[in-house]
Amino acid sequence: MKKVYLAALTIAVLTLIALPSVAHANLLGNAGFEDGASQTAWTLAGTAGVHDWEAPNPHSGDWLAAISVPWSVGAGALSQEITGITGDATYTYSLWADANANTTDYYMKLSWYSGITPLTPWNQGISITGGTYTNPSYNVVAPATADKVIVEFGTTATGATCGKFDDVDFDVIPEPATMLLLGTGLVGLFGISRKKR
């Protein structure tokens, strides 16, 4: 009897430990740019690049993404395509942003698609205080028919202040039903263990 109870307890504890990773499974590859100069996963456009020398330091690790390098040379963006999007699901999009001066030159964008058909995109300007990392974070509901998104950040300014970006995150917020199922499973396990006792 004790063994069953112990097994249920172990599963419950392991599930609780696993829960945060369920809630925060970043769908982006190379999200902290630590793949370095190989620039995997991201598509670079314009004056965007991945660097290991910028000051102040990257938000994490040794590398960050920079746009407009050297200073004030023009527009650029980094983007990444994510397939398997669930329509009507809520997604969290966040990143860490710094710049060499105060700037509102930058944006975060989600371009939703249904197959190859573009849907209404989501676009949000970023206000950056130079010399300090800021962490804009937004919850965005995917259009009902969406099955793909292009996650993007960048600038359209031709004389943009140099922006620095790190630790980009895009993940789905689990449906309440999923959390309920997990909870029900746990209660069920405890029920079985109590019955056997």
Q: What is the contact surface with Ca ion in residues (CB under 5 A)? A: 32-33, 58, 60-61, 63, 166
- As measured in angstroms, the least distance from the Cβ of 183 to Ca ion is 35
- The two beta strands, 122-128 and 103-114, are antiparallel
How far is it, in rounded angstroms, from Cα 136 to Cα 190? 40
32 versus 143: smaller Cβ distance to Ca ion: 32
- As measured in angstroms, the least distance from the Cβ of 7 to Ca ion is 40
> Would you tell me how many other CB atoms lie within 10 Å of the CB of residue 103?
21
64 versus 119: smaller Cβ distance to Ca ion: 64
The answer to whether the CB of 77 falls within 8 A of the CB of 67 is: yes
Phi–psi pair at 194, nearest 5 degrees: -70, -40
166 versus 169: smaller Cβ distance to Ca ion: 166
Distances from the Cα of 197 to the Cα of 82, 132, 189, angstroms: 48, 58, 13
- As measured in angstroms, the least distance from the Cβ of 125 to Ca ion is 23
- As measured in angstroms, the least distance from the Cβ of 37 to Ca ion is 13
166 versus 171: smaller Cβ distance to Ca ion: 166
SS3 4: helix
